[in-house]
Structure 1
Amino acid sequence: MTISLRHARVRYGPLEALHGITLAAPARGLTVLLGRNGSGRTTALRALAGTVALSGGAVVWDGVDVTRVPAHERARRGLCLVPERQAVFGSLTVRENLELAGVARDFSAALDAYPRLKTLLPRRAGTLSGGEQRMLALSRALLAQARVVLVDEPAQGMSPGVAADTYELLAGLDACVVIAEQRLPPVLRGRTALVYELRRGTVAFGGEAAELE
């Protein structure tokens, strides 16, 4: 297992969002965190990334406790978080956003994945539609060649066809990929994917996608 939460607790003031949950994502492959709004799925992603602090438990990555390792250091070590909101720099152009991924000026992997971005390179990211911003955010994750990719609702705002391609893309990455969704996307049914269903900050189910069905 590449990255895991072990008996993790997270508090927002007096409210506890995660009640000692344990889950683990494999080194290569897709893990899906399911749950309604308020279930804790987004908080679990943020806890793995280090953008929220644990009030109890641990985050373990490749057998090492990284609970106290800050988010920027986890990113430097190969972890990439694509949040649901504010995932791109709106005042910068699409090209500048891609350049921030740190791969010189070779955007071929991103533009092959999302050809629509080719015509948008000079546009400011803040002027793009919601679906286009998701494409850009995911493209930056592709270019970063991260070992762990965490994505909150990856296909939000996308057309059904682009959404299906996005899930196929994420499932095919040579990385540990964890996505958070309200429901299991149809394109992932029948695929080999590890699924955790969260309810009110606890794990209600953990197993293969086919078992959930």
Structure 2
Amino acid sequence: MTLLELRTARVRYGPLEALHGVSLAAPGPGLTVLLGRNGSGRTTVLRALAGTVALSGGAVVWDGTDVTRLPAHERARRGLCFVPDRRAVFGTLTVRENLELAHAGGDFSPALDAYPELRPLLGRRAGTLSGGEQRMLALSRALLAGARVVLVDEPAQGMSPTVASRTYDLLRDLPACVVVAEQRLPPGVGGRGDRAAVVYELRRGEVAFAGEAGELPAGGHTTSPA
């Protein structure tokens, strides 16, 4: 089992503190959902786990080892894949070339099985795709990476409801620790038992809720608008 943790993590952007001592644990295999409105700190949590922002306090712990000072490329080398909400594909390369980069062996058929919508687009430059198509491509690359930890910021952004539902089925079935950031709890992610998602809701850089998806009230939020 993989376990990725933040322990009383603090992150500053200049004079502003974005995370105020956030602690959370994401088990794997399994799905952890970070909920929060814009400015809540959910994207910063992903970046802190990925190593693309530095902590000003606290620690990042991976399988019991403190990796706080480990740079992002070393975390990637150890099996962490981060899919940001923007610039997640190589826009000047074709869809095929993007997929080939994700799998040196050249067999990217699992990605096309997951997202057959990409098959007729293999020769297109990624930068010319729609937002939803780019998300499919970015996630396809993550599926091919064989990562131990997968971090995704708004995975279903720009997708149709059908493709979004398929995307969450794919993420939930990965043999990895999967952490996603969303504004609201995605449909179909609730439930209890072995497949229940772990949910953390952030508000103003602090954890406002921690528990299973099925424990959230209707609407997928525990807090009122600021």
TM-score of the pair, normalised by structure 1: 0.98
Task: Give the partner amino acid of 2:110.
Answer: A
- 1:21 to 2:25 alignment: no
Shift of 1:133: 0.1
The answer for the alignment partner of 2:82 in structure 1 is 81
Report 1:126-205 matches (<5 A): 126-190=127-191, 192-205=196-209
Distance 2:154 2:78 in 1: 23
The answer for the alignment partner of 1:34 in structure 2 is 35
Picking from 211, 214, 221, the partner of 1:210 is 214
Map Cα deviations across residues 37-71 of structure 1 (whole Å, 9 max, x no partner).
Answer: 00000000000000000000000001000000000
CA contact (8 A) 1:6 1:57 kept: yes
Q: Which moved more, 1:41-50 or 1:96-105?
A: 96-105
Distance 1:197 1:156 in 2: 19
Task: Give the partner amino acid of 1:124.
Answer: R
Distance 1:31 1:103 in 2: 29
The answer for the alignment partner of 2:3 in structure 1 is 2
CA contact (8 A) 1:103 1:143 kept: no
Distance 2:215 2:148 in 1: 27
**SS of the counterpart of 1:195?**
strand
Distance 1:133 1:38 in 2: 24
The answer for the alignment partner of 2:92 in structure 1 is 91
**SS of the counterpart of 2:49?**
helix
CA contact (8 A) 1:10 1:19 kept: yes
Q: How many residues align?
A: 213
Shift of 1:211: 1.0
Task: Give the partner amino acid of 1:202.
Answer: E
CA contact (8 A) 1:91 1:124 kept: yes
Distance 1:19 1:102 in 2: 38
Distance 1:165 1:117 in 2: 14
Distance 1:115 1:88 in 2: 18
Map Cα deviations across residues 132-190 of structure 1 (whole Å, 9 max, x no partner).
Answer: 00000000000001000000000000011000100111011111000000000111122
Map Cα deviations across residues 6-58 of structure 1 (whole Å, 9 max, x no partner).
Answer: 00000000000000100010021000000000000000000000000000000
- 1:71 to 2:66 alignment: no
Q: Which stretches in structure 2 are left out of the alignment for 5+ residues? A: 218-226
Task: Give the partner amino acid of 1:37.
Answer: N
TM-score of the pair, normalised by structure 2: 0.93
**SS of the counterpart of 2:54?**
coil
Q: Which stretches in structure 1 are left out of the alignment for 5+ residues? A: none
Q: Which moved more, 1:123-132 or 1:94-103?
A: 94-103
**SS of the counterpart of 2:207?**
strand
CA contact (8 A) 1:103 1:144 kept: no
